[in-house]
Amino acid sequence: MTNPALRARRVRTLLPALALALTATGLAGCGDDSPDAAPDAATSSASGAITIEDPWVRATTGTEDPTMTAAFMTIDNETDEDVVLVKASSPDAGMVQLHEMAEADGTMVMQEVDGGITVKAHGGQLLQPGGYHVMLMDLTGELAPGDEVELTLEFSDGSSQEVTAPVKEFTEEEGHYHSPGTEEHSH
């Protein structure tokens, strides 16, 4: 039902040979965990991969600071090894950082994540408003609802993913995304 060759349009998986090999051997040992993940050659790379679900980017139209915004998604890691999202980039942003919300002196502040965002083996990690997110700064232009943003995500296993994320309106969390160096970013 799932043809890996057809994954190219929205989520392109660029697994290097080493990661692919790890994935294939890993799957052979975990059949009891997921009986649905039939480990034949055609599906092993798809079911044993890192996948991005539900990506979206908050529109900047009408926001306080339209030079920055955030991207959200779910990262699923169906491999046997923990992986870390170490870097993200986009042609639409001059600078991209991985951020988290953390408590400091009783208030929630946004800060860059030390060492990237870890996704446990056979686990998933939400990047969502109020939590981890991909911070897009120095935007090259306004991002209106209905636009699309291309993102490249790089992982600790050497693999990378290209994602096309729709830009959507979002009214909550207004003002939560401030530029680094402002008071709310002091550690």
The residue among 6 and 17 lying less far from another protein, judged by its C-beta, is: 6
Cα angle at 56 between 51 and 62, to 5 degrees?
165
Site pattern 47..86 for another protein (x: CB under 8 A): x---x-xxxx-x-------------xxx-xxx--------
Residue 25 parent element (H or E): helix 17-28
Residue 92 engages another protein in binding (rule: CB under 8 A): no
Neighbour-count burial of 103, counting CB atoms closer than 10 A to its CB (0-12 exposed, 13-18 middle, 19+ buried)? exposed
Site pattern 17..36 for another protein (x: CB under 8 A): -----------------x-x
Residue 7 engages another protein in binding (rule: CB under 8 A): yes
Site pattern 163..182 for another protein (x: CB under 8 A): -x-x-xxxxx----------
**Contact with another protein (CB under 8 A) among 14, 18, 42, 126:** 126
Maximum Cα interatomic distance, the chain, rounded to a whole number of Å? 53
Three-state DSSP class for residue 24: helix
**Contact with another protein (CB under 8 A) among 22, 24, 37, 95:** 37
**Contact with another protein (CB under 8 A) among 125, 155, 157, 159:** 125
From the CA atom positions of the chain, what is the Rg in Å? 18
Nearest to 162 by CA among 19, 55, 38, 16: 55
